[in-house]
Structure 1
C-alpha cells in the first residue's frame, strides 16, 4: 500500500507567533495520526517557480491515514492556532507503492 505524505511550504509568515502556537498542538496531533516528520525547516534549494522557504514533509503509513490525520479534531484545532498568521501551500500526496 502506498504511503501518504503531507507537503507544506510556508510562502509567507505574517505573524511569527502563530506558527509557534500551531506547532505545540500540531506535533501531538500528527503523531497521534501516525505521522513521522521527515523534513522540517532545513535547507531548501528551489528550482523553476519554487520558493526556498520553510518546507515540512511528513510521512504516513497510507494516503488514507494522511487524509484522516488532517481531518482529525486535534489537527483541526491546531489549524485554528495558525489562523491567518501564514500563507502556506499544503498538499496531501500519495506515494509510489
Structure 2
C-alpha cells in the first residue's frame, strides 16, 4: 500500500535525523559527590539533555572555550566548600 502522505521525500534525504559527529567516547571514574557537583554546574550553565544534566555538554563548553575554568584561590578550601554545597542542596 502506498503512503498517502506526499511530503515524505525529505525523510528519504535524511532530514530530521541528527548528523553523525565523529566524536570519541571518554570514560571517567569519580565519586558520586563530584558527579553531583558537576551535574549541578552543568544545569547552571544550561548543559541539559533530555531534561537531565549533561556532563559531556559541560566538557564540550569548557573544551571549546565557551566556559572558562578559573582556579580557586589557594586559601579556598575546596573540600569544605563542596561539603557545604551538598549540605545546602540536601537540606532544601
User: TM-score w.r.t. structure 1 length?
Assistant: 0.27
Which structure shows the higher strand fraction?
A: 1
RCO comparison, higher one (Cα < 8 Å, 6+) = 1
Q: TM-score, normalised by structure 2?
A: 0.29
Structure of higher CA gyration radius: 2
